Structure 1
């Protein structure tokens, strides 16, 4: 089957659905999407990690062990400080005396504070620093910190694999979802906006998860461990340090509440700007032809300014969190230093314990500051997740039947039975349409733009669902068939060609991946692709870029027709398939397609009425209704709508107008000089 991307023309779409097509500046006033709440979106995002529970348990175990080693380190390091302090003080005391005598001597001299320090520090008079003991303590601390770092690295390694597999599955789910979405969804979505959700937003989710999960877990466990150690050393100082927690939480909550909306707006405007850029780049030739560069630039500037304001607001508001946490942490640090110094002077605590407590206070405020600084990244990731979940929650096309009907008789007989369809419920398009396309017959569909010609064949492809009635293929209702089964029986060639980045051979083989080289060459020769391919330096290995700009429009159309030839369908749909080729090639293609159409049903949409004279049945459509049907000769003899179309195309240079009536003046247009 020849699979091609279709773009429904604006005339056939409801007003709300035309945002993705037409000039890029028409989508500037697009309404913003309503975002979900932060907590439900965050819980749903975390829920996607559930399949990796065992790895996450391992990560948590490693992080707990790493944090435990890190938390114990300052306490042991405090012993090293006590050893140095005791040695320095003991060296100053006369040797041969006991500690009690040194304390009594200091009190007798009126130095009570120094006496308390000697008693608390277990000073040995005349004995200096015990370097052996100090070395053992320092070695133990180094081993603890090295072990903590190794366990933290291993936890990060495992978590990185979990995050990347989760994001890979999310991308896969989005890809599967896109394949299950109905065509009307894509009609209503600007392509740049959709691409932004599939690429930018998922990448942002990956970055956010990678940078926040490990750090959040480590920070939270560090806070718990540090609080326990602080209470072990000094409950009084621990209470002083904990005063900063509710203040920090309140400040973070107030700031985060204001920044979340900004992040949602930031990614929304990013998608809108991507849509603007994608449309402008795709249609840059059209923009230049109509001289609309200024409008494009103005629209881009407006969207860029909206993105700047949203991004600046989001980063500025969330950026206030970290300085606020640092300020609160410094206040707590000053209070601990002052109170701890007083307790050392009074002998209530050793210097090593105060030093350890100060380290714990920094370890306590640091993870809180890190959590606060990650709030903007987390909110940005959740805002992107909301947009991706919105795509995943979109209404899907009706599912294929559980027990599909078999398609045994493959003759290509198509019957419309009282079919009705409309894009908008209040605007009828096709009403009560009935027709039969017999096997091997060619059914031509003609009529003015917007009459419903392309819609008719889209209904055969089940790109849209009927409002009422039914369509059958060889007596089987299309809704009873799997979509892939139905479309495998159909070859479609559109006026708008679609080629992917690859060789000419690969583009032709897209119609039948199992085709042999001989079959590919036969299809190319039948559609005259071989004629121009032979003149290319690389022949069938010529690489076509994604835009197909290195081959002409007519050559692109020939390749798509060759693709349809290779698929060998039982039902063929040609939508202005020869409109991009020259007259001589069109005549050759008509002969080739006549052979292709033999023994299979064909629907041909044509504006060039000369190409459908030999059709078995010609349908003339106006406003979604068949106003005439018959052969070419019968319709000309009837002198109705087809007769008017035919003579307007071949007998007159233009539609009749009253020559006495001058053409309407175009405001601002110069008068044409008469010659």
Structure 2
């Protein structure tokens, strides 16, 4: 399924994408002007030798009556010597400015692609969690990596080629009209056809290259998902099936490229015949005029050489347009990502006053997910500083939604959440999230060592502090038995560790952050009974000076909570202590009876 933010750009002109790119790159104006100037000067020097050849022919034929003689060079030898010196400086100038434009364009390409990738990544980090829940990570990686690289390839060579083709047409055209307006008209006759052909192929190729970018994103997504789920693939012996699905995605990419290549490849043969018509017109008509004496022989030589210099480079438009279309399709996707609205804005300027007590209050909070319509309604809860709130209920009842709202992964549709009396919307995201340590059911460990993962929330932590946090989370016992201890690599997503080990490291990481509020989203779900008991002991120790919000399915882990709230269909169905809820003989009591084996048959 294609990513909605990476929608097809067939209805948007590639030149509109170029306009958006130019607006984005306005900070690079000086570099662009300098690179463009060097490209123009280089092309003018590049054209000059053809003119000098015609002047040399004029010297050989007319000698003392040549064009060079009118400039003060009396003898033919002086004229040839002057032309030789001038040729040397023209070639040196051409080489110098070729070096300069290549340096400028390539450095600009590197700088712009780096900044685009960085801006896209930083913008993506600001997007709310719903964006990542509805968009493929493979597509996002393809946008930030492959699409940015496509733009870099165009800036490396395509931009210079487009500028130099334009300079060639203008400069050569001026020389033609000075020497012979008739020949100029004949030579320029194919150019409207060539330009029309270029735009025709551009319109045909644009949607095809947009489809190519979609397909490469789908392919990246497939590869990312399969490599991340390799254990599941192996356990279901689905290697062949997944290989065939990857082949289908790869073949779709090949087919999309084939259609684009078929269009771009047709450009050169068509344009070649138009170029031939212009060249033959100059060659024959100019030759007849030179034989008749109405056109200087040297001027005829200049026109013949410049006709080739004018028309043949236009065949390169096919490659340039190919680069341009690929780059603009990619640019559209990058800029679409950058234009994705930030729904949870970091507009708060306040910070929580120190010391943060951790008093939490949900007041008539309501929220609905746009995609599913699920959510919570009119929830009011108070968690006094230093107390423990446990949230229980069926899957999908809204427990995790409360945690996401507390961390401002989403903003509530109604109501207000306050910490220490301050609405969280008035706080900076940094101040809010630094006050909360999260231990999620889905533990994510970064590729690196155990030490690096534990210190993720507190990079300046000493080894002693790391060890103390690991001991509190009952993780030190297995860490010290590893051959490299804290220096042990965990592998991608912690693949080298067991689920229980990853969970304990996640808890230690949150403890090392030393936040006044600790959120445990089914933090003991992936551990055995012995480890769960150990974690419960550590939670009993650390809960005295922290506010703890726990989400749990195992009711045995929350019997000591100061307050238990049963969430049902997005509302608080009942609340109280463990003893109070058992006395009510309601939902909690029924679930307790099931889990402890005392349910009625």
**Fold match by TM threshold 0.5:** yes
Structure 1, unmatched stretches of 5+, are 1-26, 88-98, 100-118, 123-128, 658-675
CA distance in 2, matches of 1:241, 1:451: 76
Query: Which residue number in structure 2 is paired with residue 506 of structure 1?
Result: 452
CA distance in 2, matches of 1:412, 1:553: 30
| Distance apart, 1:290 and its partner CA | 4.2
Given that 1:499 and 1:548 are in contact with CA atoms closer than 8 Å, whether structure 2 keeps it comes out as: yes
Greater shift after overlay, 363-372 or 400-409? Answer: 400-409
Match of 1:575 among 513, 521, 537: 521
Given that 2:441 and 2:525 are in contact with CA atoms closer than 8 Å, whether structure 1 keeps it comes out as: yes
CA distance in 2, matches of 1:288, 1:403: 50
Match of 2:586 among 619, 640, 644: 640
Query: Which residue number in structure 2 is paired with residue 561 of structure 1?
Result: 507
Match of 1:438 among 378, 384, 387: 384
Given that 2:439 and 2:520 are in contact with CA atoms closer than 8 Å, whether structure 1 keeps it comes out as: yes
Query: Which residue number in structure 2 is paired with residue 542 of structure 1?
Result: 488
Query: Which residue number in structure 1 is paired with residue 7 of structure 2?
Result: 33
Residues 146-545 of structure 1: pairs in structure 2 closer than 5 A: 146-290=92-236, 292-293=238-239, 296-401=242-347, 403-404=349-350, 406-408=352-354, 410-424=356-370, 427-545=373-491
Residues 15-54 of structure 1: pairs in structure 2 closer than 5 A: 27=1, 33-35=7-9, 36-54=12-30
Q: Secondary structure at the match of 1:266?
A: helix
In the alignment, structure 1 residue 71 sits paired with structure 2 residue 59: no
Given that 2:2 and 2:214 are in contact with CA atoms closer than 8 Å, whether structure 1 keeps it comes out as: no
| Distance apart, 1:205 and its partner CA | 1.3
Match of 1:61 among 7, 24, 37: 37
Q: Secondary structure at the match of 2:347?
A: coil
CA distance in 2, matches of 1:263, 1:34: 9
CA distance in 1, matches of 2:330, 2:140: 12
Could you report, residue by residue, the CA deviation over 1:164-190 in whole angstroms, capped at 9, with x for unpaired residues? 222222222212211221111111101
Query: Which residue number in structure 1 is paired with residue 71 of structure 2?
Result: none
CA distance in 2, matches of 1:121, 1:511: 78
| Distance apart, 1:141 and its partner CA | 2.0
CA distance in 2, matches of 1:409, 1:252: 67
CA distance in 1, matches of 2:33, 2:489: 49
CA distance in 1, matches of 2:331, 2:247: 27
Given that 1:120 and 1:348 are in contact with CA atoms closer than 8 Å, whether structure 2 keeps it comes out as: no
| Distance apart, 1:618 and its partner CA | 1.4
Question: RMSD value over aligned CA atoms?
Answer: 2.6
| Distance apart, 1:58 and its partner CA | 2.7
| Distance apart, 1:515 and its partner CA | 1.8
1:281–1:402 CA distance, 2 compared to 1 (3 A): closer
| Distance apart, 1:425 and its partner CA | 8.0
Higher helix share: 2
Given that 2:436 and 2:518 are in contact with CA atoms closer than 8 Å, whether structure 1 keeps it comes out as: yes
| Distance apart, 1:561 and its partner CA | 1.1
| Distance apart, 1:367 and its partner CA | 3.3
| Distance apart, 1:529 and its partner CA | 2.6
| Distance apart, 1:503 and its partner CA | 1.6
1:425–1:133 CA distance, 2 compared to 1 (3 A): closer
CA distance in 1, matches of 2:445, 2:374: 34
| Distance apart, 1:30 and its partner CA | 7.8
| Distance apart, 1:86 and its partner CA | 6.6
| Distance apart, 1:270 and its partner CA | 1.3
CA distance in 2, matches of 1:39, 1:79: 41
Could you report, residue by residue, the CA deviation over 1:121-157 in whole angstroms, capped at 9, with x for unpaired residues? 99xxxxxx96675455344324312311211221221
Greater shift after overlay, 132-141 or 262-271? Answer: 132-141
Query: Which residue number in structure 1 is paired with residue 86 of structure 2?
Result: 140
| Distance apart, 1:602 and its partner CA | 0.6
| Distance apart, 1:282 and its partner CA | 1.3
Greater shift after overlay, 458-467 or 420-429? Answer: 420-429
Given that 1:171 and 1:202 are in contact with CA atoms closer than 8 Å, whether structure 2 keeps it comes out as: yes
**TM-score w.r.t. length of structure 2:** 0.92
Query: Which residue number in structure 2 is paired with residue 125 of structure 1?
Result: none
| Distance apart, 1:406 and its partner CA | 4.4
Q: Secondary structure at the match of 1:604?
A: strand
Given that 1:220 and 1:367 are in contact with CA atoms closer than 8 Å, whether structure 2 keeps it comes out as: no
CA distance in 2, matches of 1:442, 1:617: 6
Given that 2:364 and 2:415 are in contact with CA atoms closer than 8 Å, whether structure 1 keeps it comes out as: yes
Could you report, residue by residue, the CA deviation over 1:58-89 in whole angstroms, capped at 9, with x for unpaired residues? 333333332332222212112323445579xx
CA distance in 2, matches of 1:327, 1:293: 52
**TM-score w.r.t. length of structure 1:** 0.83
CA distance in 2, matches of 1:65, 1:251: 28
Query: Which residue number in structure 2 is paired with residue 671 of structure 1?
Result: none
Query: Which residue number in structure 2 is paired with residue 3 of structure 1?
Result: none
Greater shift after overlay, 47-56 or 289-298? Answer: 289-298
Q: Secondary structure at the match of 1:223?
A: helix
Number of aligned positions between the proteins: 593
Q: Secondary structure at the match of 2:380?
A: strand
Query: Which residue number in structure 2 is paired with residue 621 of structure 1?
Result: 567
Query: Which residue number in structure 2 is paired with residue 93 of structure 1?
Result: none
CA distance in 2, matches of 1:319, 1:331: 20
| Distance apart, 1:414 and its partner CA | 0.9
CA distance in 1, matches of 2:481, 2:17: 57
| Distance apart, 1:431 and its partner CA | 1.1
Could you report, residue by residue, the CA deviation over 1:395-428 in whole angstroms, capped at 9, with x for unpaired residues? 1024333542643562111111111111138835
CA distance in 2, matches of 1:587, 1:410: 29
Greater shift after overlay, 379-388 or 324-333? Answer: 324-333
